[in-house]
Amino acid sequence: MITGDATAKATEIEPELQDLAGRIRAWAGEIGFQQIAIADIDLGEAETRLLEWLDRGFHGDMDYLERHGTLRSRPAALVPGTIRVITARLNYFPPGARDAESVLGAPELAYVSRYALGRDYHKVLRNRMQRLAERIRADAAPLERRLGAVFHTRVFTDSAPVMEVELAVKAGLGWRGKHTLLLNREAGSWFFLGEIYTDLPLPVDGPTVEHCGICRRCIDVCPTQAIVAPYLLDARRCISYLTIEHKGSIPEALRPLLGNRIYGCDDCQLVCPWNKFAQTADLDDFRVRNGLDGARLADLFAWSEIDFLVRLEGSAIRRIGYERWLRNIAVALGNAPTTPDAVNALRLRCDHPSALVREHVAWALKRHEERER
């Protein structure tokens, strides 16, 4: 951390810091990132919006968002000494994946959010961010000696209270779309974000301009109308929240709206005009595993817990656990056409040990019975 005289000396090495920032961008490209930029840590306006959002209860039962308080909007409180955040993006749209719209249009199939079709992004992204951080620290050694300081870095990949999108906006990686995701003119939104918190006084990049204009396709297409206003999401209605973050019973009124989406939802991204510029991932880690880009609901519902754990080893889906996996598929089977396959699959789970699973299976079977009357 630089303090006192070292801070004054830092202004004398601005050209070296500029050069270092350029090298960081080059290294990031070598490691596989599509873009990298640097932000300062002033998130005052974002903090106000966050607190208002929490006050409205839009976070649902994601209690950790409240527990973390302002750590999320104050990087130096999370990691003392932080003055810069290096933020990076990595494309994830899986190459060769079955057309998303065709899966959504086939109610007997399971729709899984495109980001979760391959290996768990936390592991893939963190490994690359860590490699970049280590290279930065090694290269900064001469500057440390000149300043009489020791620089630090800490990597985050959606694993701590970090305002990823806000930091990326400040750094100029894109702008916040009306669906609240980051948008980039050259890459749309099919990418992950990662951060390196540091006390290196690197030169910062500036924000870009917004390009959503009057478009509201993401708002209009949302199956549950979770985007209650431009740039404002009620997570309690969001299918990604309901199928991933929410641990309890899915509200009955929302179940029919989930369709065949069993893990996450991409509708707001699929209709976004900027995603016509998106590129597929060039990492094998993000290639489709287990045929999850269009598997039959009845087949997935038949998986045992051992099947679930073994087949989804290294997948982000494994984080929700087997019980919620069955809960989600039961809802999708209830929304599927009434066929012997769908009904028989549900009946085999009528006596499941989990009350949560039994509740959603009973609801699904009732839907089929009502259709047959």
- What are the helix (H) ranges across 297-339? 297-301, 305-311, 321-335
* Segment (H or E) for 35: strand 35-39
Rounded CA-CA distance 10/146 in Å is: 9
SS3 361: helix
Residue 12's φ and ψ, nearest 5 degrees, are -75, -15
Considering the candidates 61, 139, 158, 341, report the single residue annotated as catalytic.
158
- C-alpha 8, offset from chain centre: 39
Rounded CA-CA distance 39/185 in Å is: 19
CB under 8 Å to 95, separation ≥6 — which residues?
A: 280, 281, 282, 286, 287
SS3 86: strand
Which neighbouring-strand residues pair with 184? 188
42 is catalytic: no
What are the catalytic residues? 158
